[in-house]
Amino acid sequence: MKLIVGLGNPDPNFDGTRHNVGFATIEVLAAANNLDWQQKDKFKSSVAEGVLDGEKVILLKPRTYYNLSGDAVLAVKQFYKLENPDILILHDELALPFGIIRSRLGGADAGNNGVKSIISAIGEDFARIRIGIANEHTTNQDAADFVLGHFNHDENKALVEVKKHALLMAEAFIRGEFDHTTIEV
């Protein structure tokens, strides 16, 4: 069994923001596999479940808000008795330029409060897909304002490819073929 978590904020006001690229990406994975989202209060999340590539997969969008995502991940981990290497987190990464996607296993939070919350709750040895969001305006704004801002027109057009490559990495994770990879879109 695999748990794939997209990080984001549940309020519709955050739709289309850089901080919600994890939600947006996991929603494409659910739609591509005809999986329906259900509210699961015991997991503090929206959940979609199915069998992908012969593996039971749980897709999770925490409803705890981004910075408290660890609460939801811990609830699912404990309920299903999952090990950290069976957990994949998809999240925005301010330290990477837009169009760069990196996968890795373990590591520090790199200042990402959602990842910090998850590490605090379950430890750091889970898989990650880091989706770069930085652009030429990153240093001109407060980091919180930037991540909560919307993608510009060109970025929105390129997001289709970004999400496609992030999903290829997620599918490799499901098949047990996850590796440290960097892709530039």
Contact 114, 91 (CB under 8 A): yes
The three-point CA angle 151-153-156 to 5° equals: 55
Contacts of 55 (CB under 8 A, 6+ apart): 1, 2, 174, 175
Contact 101, 129 (CB under 8 A): yes
Contact 4, 72 (CB under 8 A): no
Residue 137 among the catalytic residues: no
CA 102 to mean position of chain CA atoms = 12
CA atoms of 170 and 151, how far apart (whole Å): 22
- The number of helix segments (H) and strand segments (E) in the chain equals 5, 8
The three-point CA angle 155-118-27 to 5° equals: 40
The three-point CA angle 128-133-138 to 5° equals: 135
Q: Active-site residues: which are they?
A: 19
